[in-house]
A = this chain, B = another copy of it.
Amino acid sequence: MPAEIKGLNEECGVFGVFGAPEANHLAYLGLHTLQHRGQEGAGIVTTDGTEMYQYRNRGLLAQVFKNQADLDHLVGEAAIGHVRYATAGRHTLANVQPFLFRFHDGDVALAHNGNLTNAVTLRRQLEDEGAVFQSDSDSEILIHLIRKHIKQGFIPALKQSLNELHGGFAFLLLQKDRLIAALDPNGFRPLVLGQLPDGAYVVASESCALDIVGAKLLRDVQPGELLVIDRDGLHEDHFTTKTQLAICSMEYVYFARPDSIIHGVTVHNARKRMGKLLAAEHPVDADIVIGVPNSSLSAASGYAEGAGLPYEMGLIKSQYVARSFIQPTQALRERAVALKLSAVRGVVAGKKVAVVDDSIVRGTTSQKLVKMLRDAGAKEVHLLIASPPFRFPCFYGIDVSTRAELMAAHYSIEEMRQQIGADSLHFLSVANLIKAIDLKDTGNAPYQGLTVAYFNGDYPTPLYDYEASYLASFNAQEQRMRKEQLKS
């Protein structure tokens, strides 16, 4: 459903634990808190040191593990798990992770968050050399590369393989005797390391997954790092030293849970600051401030506080929207929008309403939102966006890889306002976004360790397989400019 409401989709969450009793239940709890990062499939692989056990299926975690027995048979003290949003690859079971590969010299399980930018090239090469892929997923490429280099030994083969990959990736690998975590040289996706009271290590996409299992947040995994966790504890290694943090700014704006702490910053606090800075940058004449639940509530309360206006619940989100919801007939389809989100007439009627949302992708949701508020009697609707206009695609793990669908790529803010039907439309500036997130000590000018390419086209890496189609999406004049902007 978030997909429909927002048009932005994360590509998965990962969770790993080594050396803890009930690793299966820990993985289950951890994945549950990461469910917002992917709702189309889930799975867990565990090992007891002798065998590896896998269970995965399409759907939400609670749908996948409907039967206690399916979780219980995942025995052992080490586990990796995955929740999936299907970007690349068909929506089939074969694409649901963790993958489990069985070899005569030892099984390997794999979970991946991110998107590779040279996947097509690598897959074609590997197939021509004899490889047989079992999924459409980019994630499988790593294992084929490892096998290609396996005579060097597993860890050297893994390091070499990671250096052949480009793009955004946070990988967890599980073998019978160890858990391995690896993060791409730019650290595009979040990945944190934690520790349970009994000393066992946990690795997860977000710190909220550490909280739920009772693990203490130790630190963020660093770009280029390779962490190996086995019976002897944690081994800190790296596969490359050519690194530069460029974490996805949209994690702070929209994806991550408000209680997660990423590179030292609590997401809710960053969002509230976005709202406050937005109020300073774009004050509006309104009676009340409302947020779009749930992702924009932090920013909205920040805006209200900054603007000195009352913060109200002008929109409510149903807790009961199911995936399996029966689609109404054509005549009623319009109505069904309100199943997820509805306006509170008693709050907005007769008011000048400042509604705060986190971002605009396709714009269709904003349009419905404004209409819904006007239908409920709002006198004026001012739309305040707590991030800059989303103009450029992402190739590192957000499901927006073409410009075609991006409203801000094709229209001016005034044109957008007209189409959306708001009385005014305002965005946070890139500078204020960076200021609101406020990463410390990243030593990465000019964006302080963030990727803001979606707003300004300044990608921190070459685009590889995507470069041609990216450039083709511009007119001739723009192409030249954008080509120069790209790294190579």
Taking Cβ atoms with an 8 Å cutoff, the residues of A that contact B are 21-22, 25-26, 28-29, 32-33, 35-36, 39, 54, 60-63, 65-66, 68, 71, 92-94, 101-105, 123-124, 127-134, 136, 140, 143-144, 147-148, 150, 208, 211-214, 257-259, 261, 265-269, 272, 294, 297-298, 301, 304-305, 310-313, 316, 318-322, 324-329, 331-332, 335-336, 338-339, 342-347
Query: Which chain B residues lie closer than 8 Å to A345 at the CB level?
Result: 211, 259, 261, 266
* Cα A326 to Cα B68 with chains together (Å): 6
* Contact between chains at B268 and A346 (CB < 8 Å): yes
Q: Are A208 and B35 in contact (CB under 8 A)?
A: no
Q: Chain B residues near A104 (CB, 8 Å)?
A: 123-124, 127
* CB pair B102 A136 closer than 8 Å: yes
Structural contact, A344 and B101, CB atoms closer than 8 A: no
A320 / chain B contacts, CB cutoff of 8 Å = 32, 35-36, 39, 60-62
In the bound complex, residues from chain B placing their C-beta under 8 Å from that of A332 are: 22, 25-26, 29
Contacts of A257 in B (CB 8 A): 316
Quick one: given A29-B336, A132-B144, are A344 and B266 in contact (CB under 8 Å)?
yes
A272 proximity list for chain B (CB < 8 A)? 312
Is A324 a contact partner of B66 (Cβ separation < 8 A)? Answer: yes
> A21 — nearest CB in chain B belongs to which residue?
B331
- The answer to whether A326 touches B28 (Cβ under 8 A) is yes
Q: Are B329 and A25 closer than 8 Å at their CB atoms?
A: yes
Complex CA distance for A338 and B259, rounded to whole angstroms: 12
Nearest chain B residue, comparing its CB with the CB of A297: B313
| Also in contact, A319 and B335, with CB within 8 A (given A132-B134, A268-B346) | no
Whether A258 and B132, one on each chain, are in contact in the complex, defined by CB atoms closer than 8 angstroms, is no
Q: Which chain B residues border A267 with CB–CB below 8 Å?
A: 346
13 contacts between A and B (CB under 8 A): A28-B326, A32-B320, A36-B319, A68-B326, A211-B345, A212-B335, A212-B338, A259-B346, A261-B345, A266-B346, A268-B313, A298-B313, A304-B311
Closest approach, in angstroms, between the C-beta of A243 and any C-beta of chain B? Answer: 26
Asked whether, in the complex, the Cβ of B35 is within 8 Å of the Cβ of A318, the reply is yes
Min CB distance, A208 to chain B, in Å? Answer: 7
A62–B325 touching, CB < 8 Å = yes
Closest chain-B Cβ to A256's Cβ sits at a distance in Å of 12
A61 contact set on B, CB distance < 8 A: 320
Residues of the B chain whose Cβ atoms lie less than 8 Å from the Cβ of A103: 127, 132-133
- Whether A344 lies near B147 (C-beta < 8 A) is no
**Residues of chain B with a CB closer than 8 A to A338's CB:** 211-212
B147 touches A32 (CB 8 A): no
Q: Which residues of B contact A258 (CB under 8 A)?
A: 313, 316, 344
Minimal beta-carbon separation of A40 from chain B (angstroms): 13
Structural contact, A259 and B33, CB atoms closer than 8 A: no
Least CB separation from A213: chain B residue: B335
How far is A479 from B26 in the complex, measured between Cα atoms in Å?
Answer: 51
